[in-house]
Amino acid sequence: MTRLALVFGNLRRCRMRTALLILSIGIALLLFGLLASFERAFSTSSEASDLGRMVVVNKISFTQPLPQAHFERVRALPGVAAATHATWFGGYYREPRNTLHAMAVEPQSFLQVYRDDIQLAEDQRLAFLAQRGSVIIGSSMAERWGWRVGDRIPVFSNRIVKHDGSRTWELLVAGIFHGANAQVDANFLYLHHDYLDEARSTGTGTIGFIILEPQAGVAGDELGQRVDRLFDTAAVRTTTDTEMSFNRAFVRQFGDMALVAKLVVAASMVSLLLILGSTMMMAIHERTREVGVLKALGFGRLEILWLVLVEVLVLALIGGLAGLAAAAFAVRIVAGSLVQIAPGMTLGWQIWGAGLGIILALALLAGLIPAARAMRVRIVDALGRH
């Protein structure tokens, strides 16, 4: 009998225990794959959209508006290559649970600032610029609701009311845009800020925040300080930061998702290590007599060590690789529903590599103490046990 045959024979001795261990390892690596894919996509989406752009918000809170006059002063500031502004619109389609990520923007400057992120056909771009009541929507949102260019869609708002008391906004789909890469969120709707400002009953003359591009050779942090100094004595003061920091702060109002994902993965791995280690200790204790027989047949201490570690490694590999494969399948299913916060969510080779490293580390840590115990078993004690 070969060494590997001996390993697999030991695994078949208690099939229920082996199956439960493989299932536990698989579930832990499934959880790792899902959360690592989410955390990576969440972090990468903020970094990918940050092309040196800066965001100017109200110093009190980014949820508070800015006077629209601030935008003209920022755009005229030396060192600013281009600037635009946006206002959160929100809303929902048909039912409150069908929430929409909608922003009111200044179309011309918005499409200029985000020219490298948004891919929009020229005729659709011109139609959007020409019609105040029109919108452009991302391909993910269009696919979800079955919208087409030329459709008129009713968008309802809980917070923005028209002068006539209505909360329904009839919008014309002028274009459907695609993200330049997988990290650009294509689950957004953009409408004209002028159309919003003219029709709403409150908040007229205000905007949400300003996005600006520094000129070549102008440091973003220095330009941000200049912008903030410009409004030091104004009634509404500002604070300026990178677009990446702004995006992360916006999502953090729902909680630090990346930290939660890491903590959950860490807790599951520690639990798995304890389960696997204690189970292997029990298995080796049950096989003390067999270990004594192997030593009597000429197996050395290192061979005993090798047999135990390989047994744990085989368990970890079967369960871990099955869990990662299940995670890859699950990521494909959930990626569409998480595109608004983690666009481009995939189980990449980096995560596969990290998962394999976790499998090897688990096998080593969980098998080392049982293997050392098996090495120290004396033939006389083992064969003399009843």
Cα separation, 60 vs 355, in Å, equals 43
| HEC letters along 206-256 | EECEEEEEECCCCCHHHHHHHHHHHCCCCCCCEEEEEHHHHHHHHHHCCCC
Cα separation, 191 vs 57, in Å, equals 20
**pLDDT in the model for residue 96:** 87
- For the chain, first and last CA: distance in Å? 26
**pLDDT in the model for residue 256:** 59
- The rounded mean pLDDT for the chain is 84
Other C-beta atoms within 10 Å of 298: how many?
Answer: 7
Percent of the chain with pLDDT over 90: 39
Please report which helix (H) or strand (E) contains residue 15, including its range.
helix 15-48
Report the pLDDT averaged over residues 144-151.
93
In this predicted model, what pLDDT tens digit does every residue of 77-114 receive, in sequence order?
Answer: 999 999 999 999 988 998 988 889 899 999 999 999 99
b vs e for 90-129, b when ≥16 Cβ sit within 10 Å of the residue's Cβ? bbebeeeeeebbbbbbbbebbbebbeebbebeeebbebbe
**pLDDT in the model for residue 258:** 65
Q: Identify any residues that bridge with 200 across adjacent strands, giving them in sequence order.
A: 162
Cα separation, 270 vs 242, in Å, equals 37
Please report which helix (H) or strand (E) contains residue 186, including its range.
none
Whether pLDDT at 150 is above 50? yes
Radius of gyration of the chain (CA): 30
3-class secondary-structure state, position 382: helix
Least confident of 60-64, 104-108, 247-251: 247-251
In this predicted model, what pLDDT tens digit does every residue of 275-333 receive, in sequence order?
Answer: 888 888 877 776 767 767 767 666 777 777 777 788 888 888 999 999 999 999 988 88
**pLDDT in the model for residue 248:** 66
Other C-beta atoms within 10 Å of 207: how many?
Answer: 23
Report the pLDDT averaged over residues 155-179.
91
| Interacting residues of 273 by C-beta distance below 8 A, sequence separation 6+ | 362, 365, 366
b vs e for 329-345, b when ≥16 Cβ sit within 10 Å of the residue's Cβ? ebbeeebeebbbbbbbb
**pLDDT in the model for residue 382:** 59
Cα separation, 45 vs 47, in Å, equals 6
How many Cα neighbours within 13 Å face the side chain of 123? Answer: 2
Backbone angles phi, psi at 73, to 5 degrees: -70, -40
Whether pLDDT at 230 is above 80? yes
Residue type for position 75: R
Backbone angles phi, psi at 218, to 5 degrees: -100, 125
More confident call, 19 vs 251: 19
Whether pLDDT at 5 is above 70? no
Where along the chain do its domains lie?
Answer: 3-46+256-383, 60-236
Percent of the chain with pLDDT over 70: 83
**pLDDT in the model for residue 385:** 52
pLDDT band at 373; cut points 50, 70, 90: confident
Q: Which of 216-220, 334-338, 370-374 is most confident?
A: 216-220
**pLDDT in the model for residue 386:** 47
Backbone angles phi, psi at 57, to 5 degrees: -130, 170
Cα separation, 17 vs 66, in Å, equals 63
Backbone angles phi, psi at 234, to 5 degrees: -80, 160
**pLDDT in the model for residue 104:** 95
Least confident of 158-167, 217-226, 298-307, 363-372: 298-307
Whether pLDDT at 238 is above 90? yes
In this predicted model, what pLDDT tens digit does every residue of 117-141 receive, in sequence order?
Answer: 899 999 999 999 999 999 999 998 9
Residue type for position 370: P
